[in-house]
Amino acid sequence: MPKLSVIVPVYKAEAVLETCVASVLAQTFSDWELLLIDDGSPDGSGKLCDDYAAQDSRVRVFHKPNGGVSSARNLGMAEAVGDYILFIDADDWIAPETCQTLLDALEGAGADSAGCAHWNITPDGQKWAEPGALPAGTYDREAIRAGVVDRLLGSRLGKPGEVLNGFIWRFLFSRDIIARHELRFSGAYLEDELFLLEYFCLAERLAMVDTPLYFYLQNPASVTRNYLPDYMDTFRTFYQAKEALAAKYGLEKDDPQWRQSTCWAGLLIAIGNEFAPGNPASRREKARRVRAFTLEQEMAEAIRTLRPQGLGRNKQLVADLVRRRWFGLLSLLYTIKNRA
C-alpha cells in the first residue's frame, strides 16, 4: 500500500496536464500513487491519462461521465488506498520536495494533517508567495478550531490575503478521518471551503510549514473568474450546508455573527459576478438583480446589522454603495471599470 495518494481531477486539461503529472513523478518521496480522474473530458485528456498509467504502475486512471470537480474528487477519495491524501488541480503543480516535506512535518509532530504555503503564478509569469493557513508550527485541536475553523466559519471579510481561502490543495489529509466520517465534496463552487471546515472540525493535530510548495496558476478562464448565471442558487445551497455544519459541530458560540459575515462575503461576490463582462443582461437589469439580492431575508439582515470595514478599496466602495442603496451608481461604476 502506498503511503500517499495524490488525486487530480482532469477535465479539458490536455494543454496543462503534463506539467502537473511531471511534478508528481519528480517527487523526492516515491511511495505514492497518482489517481487521475478523467471527468468525461471531451479533449485528449483521457488518452493522456492512460498513457501516463502505461508508463508508471503508480499511476491509476478512472474514466467517468462528466459530473464536476466534486464528483471527481469523491471518486478519487473512494479509490485511494494511501494513508494520506493530497489534492492537485490539473493546471497546477508541486515542488519536488512537497510530499517528503509535508510527511516529515506530519510524522515529526505526531499530527494527522499537514499544510504549507503556496506560490501564485499568473499566465504572464508573475509569481508571489502566499502564506499558509497558519504560521509554521504544530497546532492541537483547540488551536485548529481558532486558527482554521473559526476563520472559515465567520471571518469572511477583509483585505486580500487576510481572509482564509478554502484551498484544499495546501493540505495533506488523513484518509482515515475522511473515510471514518464519510466526508465528501458537494457542488461546483465553494465546495472546498465546506470540506475544509468539516475536516478541521475533526482533525486532532496539524503540522504547518512555511515553505511554498504548491504552484497555483491564476487561470483567467477558471470558474471563479467567469460569469455564473446560477451563482445565487449556488450560494444559497452553500449557506444552508454551512448552517448545518455549524449546528452539527456547535460552532455558533465561536462567532455569533458568522451568518452576517458570510452573507456579506457572498453578496460582494454576487455583485461582482452580476457585473462580470460575460453577463449579457442590460445595466438596468443588473442593478435590479443586485437590489433584489439585498432584499433577501438573510442578506437584508446582514446589511442592517453588520457594516464591513477594512476591505480592499474596491470592495469597500461596493459595500458602502450597497448600504446606501445607490444601485444605479454602483452599476455605472462597474460599467466604467469594465470598459477600462
Range(s) for CATH 3.90.550.10 in the chain? 4-217
Architecture of domain 4-217: Alpha-Beta Complex (3.90)
Please choose, from the candidates 49, 126, 130, 37, the residue with its C-alpha nearest in 3D space to the C-alpha of residue 78. 37
The pLDDT score that the predictor gives to residue 224 is: 44
- Asked if the model's pLDDT at residue 245 lies above 80, the reply is yes
* pLDDT value of residue 158: 82
Closest CA to 277 of 336, 189, 320: 336
Q: All 3 cell numbers of residue 288? A: 435590479
Q: What is the pLDDT of residues 135-170, one digit of tens each?
A: 999 999 999 999 999 999 988 888 767 789 999 999
Please identify which residue in the block is written with the cell numbers 454551512. 242
15-29, 72-86, 182-196: which range is least confident on average?
A: 182-196
Residues forming a β-bridge with 139: 206
Q: What is the pTM of this model?
A: 0.93
220 confidence band (pLDDT: 50, 70, 90):
low
Which has more pLDDT, 302 or 224? Answer: 302
Which grid cell sits at 134?
497558519
> Does residue 339 surpass a pLDDT of 60?
yes
Q: What pLDDT is attached to residue 227? A: 87
DSSP 302-315: HHHH----S--HHH
pLDDT, average across residues 220-234: 74
DSSP 301: H
266, 164 in Cβ contact below 8 A? Answer: no
Q: Mind listing the pLDDT tens digit for each residue in 248-265?
A: 999 988 788 899 999 999
- Region for 12 from its dihedrals, namely left if φ exceeds 0, alpha if ψ lies in -120 to 50, beta otherwise: left
Comparing CA positions, the residue from 96, 60, 102 lying closest to residue 215 is 96
Query: pLDDT for 2-53, tens place per residue?
Result: 999 999 999 999 999 999 999 999 999 999 999 999 999 999 999 999 999 9
Residue 230 has pLDDT above 60, yes or no: yes
- Contact criterion met (CB below 8 Å) for 4 and 80: no
Cα–Cα distance between 14 and 21 in angstroms, integer? 12
Task: Look at residues 4, 58, 59 and name the one whose alpha carbon lies nearest to residue 174.
Answer: 4
3-class DSSP assignment, residue 107: helix
pLDDT in tens, 285-333: 999 999 999 999 999 999 999 999 889 889 999 999 999 999 999 999 9
pLDDT for residue 225 = 53
Residue 207, sorted as left (phi over 0), alpha (psi -120 to 50) or beta, turns out to be: beta
What per-residue confidence (pLDDT) applies to 223?
A: 44
